[in-house]
Structure 1
Amino acid sequence: MSSDGVEVETVFIGAGCNRIVNNVSWGACDLVSFGAQNAVAIFSPKTAQILTTLPGHKAVVNCTQWLPSSKDAFKVQHLEQHFLLSGDTDGVIILWEFSLKDRKWKHVLQVPQLHKKGVTCITAIVVSHNVALFASTSSDGTVNIWEMIFPSTIGGDCKLSCLQALSVGTKPMVALSLAELPGSSGHIVLAMGGLDSKVHLYCGERIGKFVHACELKGHTDWIRSLDFSLPIWTNGEKNSLFLVSSSQDRSIRIWKITLNVSSADPKVPCRKEHIGLTSYIEGPLLVAGSSSYQISLESLLIGHEDWVYSVEWQPPSCAAAGENDCYQPLSILSASMDKTMMVWQPERTTGIWVNVVTVGELSHCALGFYGGHWSPSGDSILAHGYGGSFHLWKNIGSDYDNWQPQKVPSGHYAAVSDISWARSGEYILSVSHDQTARIFAPWRNEVGLGDRFYWHEIARPQVHGHDINCIAIIQGKGNHRFVSGADEKVARVFEAPLSFLKTLNHATLEISSFPEDLQGDIQILGANMSALGLSQKPIYVHAANKVSDRNSNDALDTLETIPDAVPVVLTEPPIEEQLAWHTLWPESHKLYGHGNELYSLCCDHQGKLVASSCKAQSAMVAEIWLWQVGSWKAVGRLQSHSLTVTQIEFCWDDSLLLAVSRDRQFSVFSIKRTGADEVSYHLVARQEAHKRIIWTCSWNPFGYEFATGSRDKTVKIWAVVENGSSVKQLMALPQFNSSVTALSWVGRNRSMNHGFLAVGMESGLIELWSLFGRTDGESTALPKFNASLAVRFNPFMCHVSTVQCLAWRNSEESGDGGSLQLGSCGADNCVRVFDIKVD
């Protein structure tokens, strides 16, 4: 997106998946959709990158469904557009259009006639080259069935009509599947299952008129997933269909629906003469128009040790474009809360269904899978887990199955509260209410990707027992260190271990940035989690070799014994299990002093002082503490505010400290070093600056001007004048449409005092303002500022909830040309990095 010579490109999006069943869908276009808080995120399994997030939902996205699905792809191979349905916890369903040609997205429409409560499942089926049906179910006890007619021309409109609304009573349905019944009846069957532990079958036509046909009993707990196969060929005819169901009773059942041969001819018996095993397990008859179908239990699959959240038939493989050439393998993928996915197939000789592949995370971090999905080609399987994470395996064997884990995108699964760039900008560090700190970096060492660098999560330095609210990377020389503050009264200091430094070398290919003597000095290889998950203990280089000698019986996952981490130097982007366990940083100090939960942190530019604040409702608790880096002594307690200090920042030469607060005031303190361990400080100015809470502030990197942003939807520019003894307002930007929650100022040209101010809002939108400062020649004169809107980011690039923090990548002052990088994080669980090119 460009405006006035400023171009914005999204370089990276990191986000975790909502921890909800039915949230993920892998479409025929080979893209995966999932809900990330209120956004619908789209990722490409080929590059392991999130391509975009779709804004539109006002509530958490519960479920997504591609049209055509990979099962129906062979019916509509001419389609220029693919469609995506997404449903949220408010009952809203949105239809999106994806153009295969230009890879662009479009918000088509919001489906009318809302569900009154959250949508829990959407299923769809393509019934002809231009018509599809989809059904949605909700916890309001209704199932709605819709007809969708694809546009006949590119750019044309979809036609949508509601065929029927079914009421299913007080026990809602949570799983749906649609299929065309075999034979020439033209009837559609809808399977639904839910809280009453039965599978209900409804029969209808393409125009609706669905009626309850029968119910299948057998499961003893909630039905969680249903999936119809394509019609099965037997004796040259498509006369049967399989339905697979899974349940919280840990079992999977396969039901066979077979077309009864007409019994009008007396020579043709209605039932087989011989008594086989199937005659004892025949279920009800399903009547659709003039045809009837016999249902029988084909198989009961038992192997999972916990709730089975999803089952899915392997998509068909098509030899040619004709429907007759399409063959669907008899192969089922199941995913369970027991942390495994299984592939089930019938044995060739006996026909008995057996488990042929089991994959899963064996670490104690995964905590189970919410769903599993086949790739359209059937050679990869994807799970999404409790930690918001994806897990992908690909079958790379030619003569035999060989399933290997693959790279996937990753990110936080709760609001991201703060971000900070590394000193030299090699990576961005984020912290979140999902109780983790994560490091994202461009991995320059990837093979076969040309000139493009893809970003990946390369470490998870802190995994904590509290929501983490703020972060500060220690500036200055020496090892990589950061301070984090969480929903506890203690700030914690972490230091990079040797394994991380070597991994970063591989990622950035900048060997020179980490001198050998630094790596020689560091005796800590990694870190282990303590039993209660609150501290991270160092693993020393000389002790790392002893880990493998321990008795293997010690690996029981109890409070007393947690498996040892094995810090490794990563030579390619890590997968979830490595991140969650083997990339921790050791904690070196705890900073005690605050009376409440930590809220804001910052470090000065020399790396000598850290300032911190906590949540407060009185002047005593609202103190800002200053900590000496290294000795970690408290060297100052600055008092000025009566409520929470929301952000603190040092000016470019560290002589002034700016603080803004919920009490609508800002304070500027003068900071001076009087000795090795001593700091003197005094209050220069305190002023009520806005009509509502001040959320954010940022200094001009070239001077003593700063910006403040508030809930009153305004941004004001101020200057410290009269030799640093008072503060005057220079200007206010035009009022914004939403509360201003994040600001970050970057310098472009020192001689002209020119820079950009990034403004993030509660709506999730981001704007870039160009600021020019002019002085009249006298040092005491009030600088004059001109402001103009440089670019308003496309909403498809922005966050869909509050922007929590904006941060420019640390880079040396560049001329008027070149590009800048801006990092952002938001309440929509996303971390984003933008490239901003300026002509």
Structure 2
Amino acid sequence: MGTSGGGDGSVEVKRAFIGAGCNRIVNNVSYGASDFAAFGSQNAVAIFCPKSAQILTTLPGHKASVNCTHWLPSAKFAFKAKHFERHYLLSGDAEGAIILWELSVLEGKWRHVLQVPESHKKGVTCISAIMVSETEAIFASTSSDGTTYIWEVAFPSTSGGECKLSCLNSISIGSKPMVALSLAELPGSNGRIVLAMGGLDSKIHLYCGERTGQFVHACELKGHTDWIRCLDFSLPIHIDDTTETILLVSSSQDRGIRIWKVALRGDTKEENSLASYIKGPVLVAGTSSYQVSLESLLIGHEDWVYSVEWQPPSSASGEGVSYYQPQSILSASMDKTMMIWQPERTSGIWMNVVTVGELSHCALGFYGGHWSSNGDAILAHGYGGSFHIWKNIGVDSDNWQPQKVPSGHFAAVTDISWARLGEYLLSVSHDQTTRIFAPWQNEASLSNGDAWHEIARPQVHGHDINCVTIIQGKGNHRYVSGADEKVARVFEATLSFLKTLNHAVSQDSVFEDLQTGVQVLGANMSALGLSQKPIYVQAKQETPSRIGNENLDTLETIPDAVPVVLTEPPIEDQLAWHTLWPESHKLYGHGNELFSLCCNHQGNLVASSCKAQSATVAEVWLWQVGSWKAVGRLQSHSLTVTQMEFSHDDKLLLTVSRDRQFSIFAIKGTGTEEISHELIARKEAHKRILWACSWNPHGYEFATGSRDKTVKIWGVENQSSVNLLLMLPPFKTSVTALSWIGLGNNRSNGLLAVGMENGLIELWNLFINRINDRSTKAPPATAALFARLDPLMCHVSAVNRLAWRIPEKSDKECSNLQLASCGADHCVRVFDVKDLAFGLHKLPRKTGTYLS
């Protein structure tokens, strides 16, 4: 799963989990002959294994959002690629760059091979390719800049060799860009290539060329009345012993699908078929000419048809030389359905034989559908960044059943929080959802560790969510979230979630004490997606009576959720609708959008801050957990407080701000519900915005991180004064996230995780010298680089938050730690940090010691 080492090689950092959603754009997903799927997640190319429903890795390299991916070979050529040792992947982004990647199948390692030299001036809209031999491929790319490039790429015959790239042609399209492409070898033409392009002018343009020369415009196919969204050539189909044809399927925003037949001319016999009445243009390629005709028109979708794809051929012989091209087409539409079309045996009329879809009301349909390489599964990606897989598990007849898929946010992930005992990780995002990820421990995983899955989506909101904190202390699982509104909202776990968590962690007794008093089974969505109303246990069988027209579909008649106990990881339909938590309180008081939240370790106090341009708005509010009364308003900063954290004993609250200062407040309970607070220190700590802070879990030392690329370690003396103990060497970019964990019972030693704006993460070993003898020459603190995580494991955009999973009390050695991170690249990540030499408790490594 990927490792990364420290200075002396005795540190092992493994990738435990990646959660990410798919960019909301057509052509973004590609299914390879490797049986892996690729997709763009913000600026990264993510690779996932449909069999294990886990994202395996993300590839950094793009500087803009990834628009499209294409495997070489794709699933269409899987019958040729059984013995391939290396597979390749093309990815194009919103700034016009195209990158070629190499996957070594045996080692499971990825390599950035090259960036295509002539980049498009605007975003890449589509990439299509064919394998012309085992070591050669031709690919074409289109862009909204109105150009199409055609390239030939020669792959090395040995591992680690160079790929050779040559540009065959550049075609200028004009003012109406192309958004769909497909390439094929013309039958019986000795290697001539046909390129089909479609786009905003509603026509299909066919170009012919040789593998060495120019591509010439051959003809146009008219019939669609709106944008062409997808094109796909079949492999050559043998009609009889002599005639070979290829079929082209096209889909459009006119909701229709058309099948075009391209047949080698020479046979003048009249056919009693639709083609004899609807003769199309003649395509001339060298000395050969081909008759193009409309074979069939498929009507069935009720909205734009974004993708169509021929079922991949199955190999008909052991050598994989011959193949059989199935007469089967998969289409995906914005009407929330995917359909499989096949010709009826007797009449030959194409019929819709399978329909699968997404039922949740909040979905907006599918952006694309793809066959697995052996044709027994279909994959769709939807508006909500979500994946859907259906597998045909029928023996004698078709039986398509939904399967587990990887999932995640489809916008920047802004905050994360571990559950009190570390059973799960809660994340919030600008995609307006809150999600819970957990290792499903009783699942037979393909990897050695537990397979992580999204097990609940407690909040589906109407505003971008900026911050979250889980309430510590005993009682039911609760959290507070803050969004682009002036209200913080409190949510409480449902009975169905607590029982689902039992199945996930395989410890039936853990949450039984919580379940006894819980009367809320689940929650329903409100009409505007703001407040979520509880569904009570005793009312679960009741059906609401409807007045008037039962079929009236308005915002007020959103269907009721059906919360159920999940015994295996849920699929998208269940997550989006049936795993909501009810909102129990709203916290009013802030003047602007919420920005930061934190809870103390006892679980009786929550602090909140909001976006601010003045001192009065920048105050931090304190809330009493339970009564949810505002019990304090702390004034110190003049701009937004970006992060807050309570000290290990809850006596001090640390706040850092855009005004370049940190503040420390002494917090005291007076025995009643009243709280007294006092500002004991305020200091301009850095030259730029402070983004992050973290306390030493065993003492009164804390770290601050800033846009000025520095991390500073401070010590609080006598709860009154603050001194600078240490400054780490400057980083290459802004420091955006920090998290400090203590190691074992050694109060002096700790591990600080540092997250940066470029997505990289480093671990630093810190040692605090607690000797009070002033005569000693020992520095107050020392630090050494413990591990620098491999860029392939890290984020590709800013790290927004880091959080160590608090180790269990029984794990005294603490040699196995888990670090969670979230970032602007839409990803939630969990890393296993293992010290092979148990050196976590020793003095810092000799990889460089930095003194104050």
Residue 508 (structure 2) aligned to one of 504, 511, 529: 511
How large is the Cα RMSD of the aligned pairs?
A: 1.7
The match for 1:535 is: 531
Preserved contact between residue 183 and residue 238 of structure 1 (Cα < 8 Å): no
| Partner residue in 2 for 1:20 | 25
| Contact preservation (8 Å) 2:694, 2:704 | yes
Q: Counterpart of 2:756?
A: 761
Contact 2:189 2:288 survives alignment (8 Å): no
Q: Once the 2 structures are TM-superposed, how far is the Cα of residue 362 of structure 1 from its aligned partner?
A: 2.1
TM-score by length of 2: 0.95
The 5 Å alignment of 1:136-175 reads 136-175=141-180
Aligned length: 829
Q: 2:831 aligned with 1:834, yes or no?
A: yes
8 Å Cα contact 1:709/1:741 also seen in 2:
yes
1:784 aligns with 2:789: no
Q: Amino acid of the residue matched to residue 613 of structure 2?
A: Q
Give the conservation status (yes or no) of the 8 Å contact 1:555–1:562: no
Partner in structure 1 of residue 846 of structure 2 = none
Pick the aligned partner of 2:373 from 373, 376, 382: 376
Residue 120 of structure 1 aligns to a residue in which SS?
Answer: strand
Cα distance, 1:811 vs. partner? 1.9
Question: What is the deviation of 1:750?
Answer: 3.5
Match of 1:41 in 2: 46
1:2 aligns with 2:5: yes
User: Which of the numbers 632, 638, 651 marks the counterpart of 1:636?
Assistant: 632
Q: 1:233 aligns with which of 220, 231, 238?
A: 238
The residue type equivalent to 2:456 in the other structure is A
Q: State the match for 2:670 in structure 1.
A: 674
1:330-380 CA-to-partner distances (Å, cap 9, x unmatched) read 000000000000000000111000000000012212210000000000000
Indicate the residue corresponding to 2:363 in structure 1: 366
Aligned to 2:486: 489
Q: Deviations over 1:149-189 (max 9, x none)?
A: 11011221111111110111111000000000001332100
Alignment of 1:561-710 (within 5 A): 561-710=557-706
Cα deviation per residue 1:761-800 (whole Å; 9 max; x = unaligned)? 0000000000011122459999811100000000000000
> Relative to 1, partners in 2 of residues 1:542 and 1:752: Cα closer, same or farther, differing over 3 Å?
closer
- In the TM superposition, what whole-angstrom CA distance separates every residue of 1:256-290 from its partner, at most 9, and x where no partner exists? 000011xxxxxxxx633577542220100000000
Distance 1:570 1:357 in 2: 27
The letter for the 1-side match of 2:171 is L
Q: Is the 8 A contact 1:75 1:126 kept in 2?
A: no
**Amino acid in the other structure paired with 2:199:** G
Aligned equivalent of 1:264:
none
- Residue of structure 1 equivalent to 2:849: none
| Mapped contact 1:312–1:332 kept (Cα < 8 A) | yes
**Percentage of identical aligned residues:** 73
CA deviations 1:546-568 (Å, max 9, x no partner) are 13887997475411211000110
| Residue deviations 1:680-713 (CA, integer Å, cap 9, x gap) | 0100100000000000000000100000000000
Q: Distance in 2 between matches of 1:118 and 1:822?
A: 35
> In structure 2, what is the equivalent of residue 401 of structure 1?
398
Question: Which residue of 269, 285, 289 maps to 1:288?
Answer: 285
SS of equivalent to 1:503: helix
CA distance in 2, matches of 1:159, 1:551: 69
Match of 1:501 in 2: 498
1:323 offset after TM fit, Å? 5.3
Letter paired with 2:599: C
Instruction: Check conservation: 2:417, 2:469, Cα contact below 8 A.
Output: yes
Deviation per CA, 1:174-222: give whole Å up to 9, x if none. Answer: 0000000001332100000000000000000011310000000000000
- Find the counterpart in structure 1 of residue 225 from structure 2: 220
CA 1:23–1:450 in structure 2 vs 1: closer, same or farther (change >3 Å)? Answer: closer
Corresponding residue to 1:731 among 708, 726, 733? 726
For residue 736 of structure 2, the aligned residue among 733, 741, 753 is 741
Matched, 1:242 2:237: no
- Which residues in structure 2 correspond to 1:187-586 (within 5 Å)? 187-237=192-242, 239-261=244-266, 271-273=268-270, 277-322=274-319, 324-447=321-444, 452-516=449-513, 518-547=514-543, 554=550, 557-586=553-582
Match of 1:266 in 2: none
Q: 1:100-179, aligned counterparts within 5 Å?
A: 100-179=105-184
Deviation track 1:585-617 (CA, whole Å, cap 9, x = no partner) reads: 000000000000000000000001000000000
CA 1:65–1:808 in 2, change beyond 3 Å: closer, same or farther? same
Q: Which amino acid aligns with 2:789?
A: F
User: Which amino acid in structure 2 is aligned with residue 482 of structure 1?
Assistant: Y
Superposition deviation, residue 321 in structure 1: 4.2
SS of structure 2 residue aligned to 1:521: coil
Uncovered stretches (5+) of structure 2, i.e. residues with no partner: 838-852
Write the distance in 2 (CA, Å) between the matches of 1:828 and 1:372: 24
Post-superposition CA distance 1:431-462 (Å, at most 9, x none) = 00000000000001224758641000000000
Asked if the contact 2:274–2:296 (Cα under 8 Å) also holds between the matched residues in 1, the reply is no
Q: Relative to structure 1, is the Cα distance of residues 450 and 788 closer, same or farther in structure 2, using a 3 angstrom cutoff?
A: closer
Q: Secondary structure at the match of 2:792?
A: coil
**Contact 2:744/2:814 (<8 A) preserved:** no
Rounded to whole Å, the distance in 1 between the matches of 2:554 and 2:503 is 35
Residue 845 of structure 2 corresponds to none
Contact conserved, 1:145 with 1:208, CA < 8 A, in 2? no
Q: What letter corresponds to residue 565 of structure 2 in structure 1?
A: V
How far does the alpha carbon of each residue in 1:465-502 deviate from its partner, in whole angstroms, 9 at most, with x for none?
00000000000000000000000000000000100000
Compared CA separation, residues 444 and 741, structure 1 to 2 (3 A): same
Name 1:63's counterpart in structure 2: 68
| Structure 1 contact 371–383 (Cα < 8 Å) conserved | yes
Equivalent residue letter for 2:108: R
Q: Secondary structure at the match of 1:542?
A: helix
Tell me which moved more, 812-821 or 383-392.
Answer: 812-821
- Deviation readout 1:520-568 (Å, 9 max, x if unpaired): 2110001001111110000000001113887997475411211000110
SS at match of 2:509: helix
| Structure 1: unaligned runs, 5 residues or longer | 262-269
Query: SS in structure 2 opposite 1:437?
Result: strand
Q: Structure 1 residues 567, 189: closer, same or farther in 2, change over 3 A?
A: same
SS of the equivalent of 2:501 reads helix
Aligned partner (choices 792, 797, 805) of residue 809 of structure 1: 805
State how far apart, in whole Å, the 1-side matches of 2:210 and 2:751 are.
Answer: 60
C-alpha distance in 1, partners of 2:506/2:548?
Answer: 37
Q: Distance in 2 between matches of 1:555 and 1:107?
A: 54
What's the offset of the Cα at 1:79? 2.4
Q: 1:595 to 1:717 in 2, by over 3 A?
A: same
Q: Residues 765 and 798 of structure 1 are in contact (CA less than 8 Å); yes or no, is this contact kept in structure 2?
A: yes
Distance 1:805 1:817 in 2: 22
Q: Which has the higher mean CA deviation after the structures are superposed, 740-749 or 552-561?
A: 552-561
CA distance in 2, matches of 1:575, 1:780: 64
Assess, with a 3 A threshold, how the Cα gap between structure 1 residues 208 and 325 changes in structure 2: closer, same or farther: same
Q: Distance in 1 between matches of 2:734 and 2:157?
A: 43
Please say if residues 16 and 449 of structure 2, whose CA atoms lie closer than 8 Å, have aligned partners that are also in contact. no
Q: 1:106-161, CA deviations, whole angstroms, 9 ceiling, x for partnerless residues?
A: 00011101100000000000111221100000000000000011101122111111
Give the SS at the match of 1:547.
coil
Write the distance in 1 (CA, Å) between the matches of 2:423 and 2:549. 41
Alignment-mate amino acid for residue 343 of structure 1:
I
